[in-house]
């Protein structure tokens, strides 16, 4: 599932909470089938005759939009969604689906750098094949796919994209990239974007919550450099 799709975990019914303040609408397009997975797109719409200029500004300063979204979601005593952040009377039928923790890593990635406008051209400057290959393998990024291949090469077969909760049978607060639920092992693959951005407190909070769960989770956080650990890394994880 790509960034746009994961952003939609906030829910199509929660988006107007933000959009209504800037008089900008949106439309969910798709899904389109790509291999064994589906992809959607979120199109922003300026409903004003002649336009207000908001969309251009949003595109130019989307990193600031993401930062503001992180600030909006940064509030105490809320583990999934509340009327302070995502819930409203209009989306009450979908309250059970609202989960802000799932979107935080992607907002952090978006907030880390200023958008760069690219000239129109045939095709895309970014090769989508590594991402499509990762999605077809059931993981969320090319880096996760590299770790999956490393694990399997050394006989370690954790589950992929696993909802995890601090308590047995409780509501999930996160999606672990890999997990062995029977051993309470959750593995997160942190790309370079994880280390960019002004606010990592949410991710630390979620993972600390898992570590202090009942019973506690063993949370492992891996980055690209850990691929060099090879078999020794896999043996440590498999213990």
The model's pTM? 0.52
Q: According to CATH, what is the number of the domain 129-238?
A: 3.40.960.10
- Nearest CA among 116, 135, 110 for reference residue 31: 135
Is pLDDT above 70 for 19?
no
Q: What mean pLDDT, rounded, does the chain reach?
A: 79
Q: What are the residue ranges spanned by the domains of the chain?
A: 3-99, 129-238
The residue assigned the tokens 């009942």 is 214
Angle, alpha carbons 97-179-208 (nearest 5°): 70
C-alpha separations of 122 from 15, 25, 39, 118, 126 in Å: 31, 28, 20, 12, 12
Q: Which residue has the tokens 């251009």?
A: 56
In the chain, the DSSP E strands lie at: 25-34, 37-45, 159-164, 174-180, 185-189, 218-222
pLDDT, tens digit, 9 for 90 and up, residues 77-109: 898 899 999 998 888 888 988 888 888 888 888
193, 184 Cβ separation under 8 angstroms: no
Q: How confident is the model at residue 164 (pLDDT cuts 50, 70, 90)?
A: very high
Buried/exposed 67-79: b ≥16 CB within 10 Å, e otherwise? bebbeebeeeebe
Q: Are strands 185-189 and 218-222 parallel, antiparallel or unpaired?
A: parallel
21-67 per-position pLDDT tens digit: 455 666 676 676 666 667 777 777 776 666 677 778 888 888 898 88
């Amino acid at each position: 599932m790509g960034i746009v799709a994961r952003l939609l975990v906030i829910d199509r019914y929660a988006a107007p909470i933000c959009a209504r303040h800037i008089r900008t609408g949106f439309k969910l397009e798709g899904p389109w089938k790509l291999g064994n997975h589906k992809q959607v797109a979120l199109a922003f719409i300026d409903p004003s005759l002649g336009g207000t200029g908001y969309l251009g500004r949003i595109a130019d300063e989307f990193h600031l939009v993401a930062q503001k979204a992180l600030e909006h979601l940064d509030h105490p005593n809320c583990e999934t969604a509340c009327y302070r952040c995502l819930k409203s009377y209009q989306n009450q039928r979908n309250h059970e689906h609202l989960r802000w923790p799932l979107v935080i890593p992607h907002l952090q990635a978006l907030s880390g750098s200023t958008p760069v406008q690219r000239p129109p051209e045939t095709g895309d400057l970014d090769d989508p094949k590594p991402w499509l290959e990762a999605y077809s393998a059931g993981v969320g990024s090319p880096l996760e796919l590299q770790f999956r291949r490393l694990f399997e090469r050394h006989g370690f077969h954790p589950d992929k994209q696993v909802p995890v909760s601090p308590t047995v049978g409780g509501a999930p607060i996160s999606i672990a990239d890999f997990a062995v639920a029977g051993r309470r092992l959750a593995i997160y693959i942190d790309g370079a974007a994880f280390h960019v951005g002004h606010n990592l407190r949410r991710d630390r909070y979620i993972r600390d919550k898992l570590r202090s769960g009942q019973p506690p989770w063993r949370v492992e956080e891996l980055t690209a450099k850990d691929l060099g650990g090879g078999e020794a890394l896999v043996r440590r994880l498999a213990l």
